[in-house]
Homo-oligomer: A and B are copies of this chain.
Amino acid sequence: MIRLSELAAQIGGRLEGDGDILIRGVGGIHSAGTGEISFLANPRYEAEAAVTGASAVIVSEDWNRECPAALIRVKNPDKAFARAAMLFYTPPPRPVPGVHPSAVVAEDAELGEGVSVGPLCVVEAGVKIGAGTVLMANCCIGYGSVIGTGGLLYPHVSIREFVRIGDRAILHNGTVIGSDGFGYSVDRNGVRTKIPQIGTVEIGNDVEIGANTTIDRARFGKTAIGNGVKIDNLVQIGHNVVIGDHAVIISQVGIAGSTSVGERTILAGQAGISGHLKIGSGVIVGPQSGVTKDLPDGAYVMGGPAMPVAKMKRSHAEIMLIPKLRERVRKLEEKIRKIEGN
C-alpha cells in the first residue's frame, strides 16, 4: 500500500485530489476499483474515465474532462503508469546460476559465468552459452549451437543444431529455432523427396521471439534475423528468409522461403508473404494481407493480394458504389426507351 501523494512524487506527477488515499495496485480504466490507480493514454477510453471505479487516474497535463477519481498529471501517462505499476510488482525469484541436477548437459558444453540451466533441460555437445543467460525448465539446445550473453529462454524452447543466437535474446515458451525448411524435389507421379536442409539460423542481438513461433533453418547458408527484431507468437519464418534490423513481426504472420524483409518493417497479424520477395525497409503490411510482389521502401499495403492502402480503400469504395451505378444505368435505359418510343 502506497499513499497517493507519495506515489505522485515517485512518478514525478502533480497531484489533484486527496493525497492520503492508500493505493494497493493498478488496473485498467474500466476494471480498476477502490484502492487502485489507472491511467488514460488512449483517447478511445476517455468516456470511461468519467465512470471509472479507480481511486486515482494518471492523465496528461492538459486533460480537462470529468473524472470522479483523484488525478496525477504527468507529461507521458503511459510511461508514468508503467512506473507506477512496477511499484506494486514483485517479480518471481531469479533462477539461480548453475546447472540443475536433473538437466542433461554434454561434458564439452561451454557455459559462461552465471549461466543458469534449469531442471530437465538438455544441452547437447559443442554448445556454447554466454555469461548470465538463463535456460528455464525443459529447454533443448541442439548440437553445436551458440547462444550469447544475458539471454532468457522460457520453458520448452527448442533449438536445433548449429543455430547462432546473439546477446540478450528473449525466447518464449515452445519456440522452435532451426527446424528443417520445407523443401522437396518432386517426380512425375507427385512423389516428393526431401532436400537436405543443411543451413542454419543466425539471430542478432536484442531479439525477442514469441511463444510457439517457428523459424526454419536454411536449405544452405542461413536464415538470418537482424538485431532488435521483435517477433510475436505463432509466427512462421521459412528457410533462407532474411529479416532486417528492428523489424516487427506480429502474431501468426507467415513468411515463405527466401524472402527478405527490410529494416524497421512492420508485418501486422496474420499477414502472409510469398517466397523469393524483397520487402523494403520501413514498410507496413496490414493485418491478414497477402503480399505477392516485391515492395519498395516505405510502402504501406493491405489486402489480398496486397496493394497500396489508398488504392485498396478506393477499390473497396468502388464496390460499395456499384448499386448507385446500376441505378444510373437503369435510368438511362428508361430514358432511351422513351426517346426511342418517340
List residues of chain A with CB under 8 Å of any chain B CB: 26-28, 31-32, 42, 44, 79, 81-82, 85-86, 89, 91-93, 100, 102, 104, 118-120, 122, 124-125, 136-138, 140, 142-144, 154-156, 158, 160-162, 170, 172-174, 176, 179-180, 182, 184-185, 189-192, 194-196, 198, 208, 210-212, 214, 216, 220-221, 228, 230, 232-234, 236, 238, 240, 246, 248, 250-252, 254, 256, 258, 263-264, 269-270, 272, 274, 276, 282, 287-288, 290, 303-305, 315-316, 318-323, 325-326, 328-329, 332-333, 335-336, 339-340
Contact = CB atoms under 8 A, between A and B. Distances in A.
Contact of A318 (B195, B240, B323): B323
Do most interface residues of chain A lie in helix, strand or loop, or is the interface mixed? loop
Copies of this protein, total? 3
Contacts of A89: 196, 198
A282 B189 CA distance: 11
Contact of A233 (B44, B210, B220, B236): B236
Contact of A256 (B26, B269, B290): B269
Interface core residue of A125, A190, A321 (most chain B CB under 10 Å): A190
B42 A276 contact: yes
Given A142-B92, A173-B179, A228 B191 contact: yes
B254 A272 contact: no
The list of the 3 closest CB pairs from A to B, nearest first, reads A190-B264, A92-B143, A179-B211
Contacts of A136: 140
Nearest to A194: B208
B122 A122 contact: no
A243 to B, nearest CB: 13
Given A92-B162, A120-B120, A270-B270, 18 more contacts: A79-B185, A85-B198, A136-B140, A138-B138, A154-B160, A156-B174, A158-B211, A170-B194, A191-B228, A234-B234, A236-B269, A251-B256, A269-B272, A272-B288, A315-B319, A315-B322, A329-B332, A339-B339
A109 to B, nearest CB: 13
A220 B276 contact: no
A336 B329 contact: no
A191 B138 contact: no
A325 B326 contact: yes
B210 A212 contact: no
Contact of A270 (B86, B182, B258, B272): B272
